[in-house]
Amino acid sequence: MKNRTKELLREGKRVLGTWGMLGDPTTIELAGIAGLDFVLVDMEHTARDLPTIEHMARAADVVGLTLMVRVPDNDPKTILRVLETGVQGIVVPQLETGEDAARAVAAMRYPLNGDRGVCSITRASRYGALRPKFAEYVESADRELLLVGLIETAAGVENIDDILAAGVEVAFIGRRDLSGSLGVHGAAEHPMVLEAQERVLKAVAAHGRAWAGLVPYRKPGEEEWITHDVPFAVYRNDISLLLEAYQNGVRMLGRESASAHGQGGQR
Q: Which residues are catalytic?
A: 45
CA distances from 126 to 79, 85, 118, 257 (A): 18, 10, 13, 47
Contact status, residue 67 vs residue 128, Cβ threshold 8 Å: no
Name, in order, each residue with C-beta under 8 angstroms of 202's C-beta and a sequence gap of 6 or more: none
Beta strands in the chain (DSSP E): 15-20, 38-42, 66-70, 89-92, 146-151, 170-173, 211-214, 232-237
Spell out the residues 6+ positions from residue 172 whose beta carbon is closer than 8 angstroms to its own. 91, 148, 149, 150, 151, 212, 213, 214, 232, 234
C-alpha dihedral over 255, 259, 263, 264, to 10 degrees?
Answer: 130
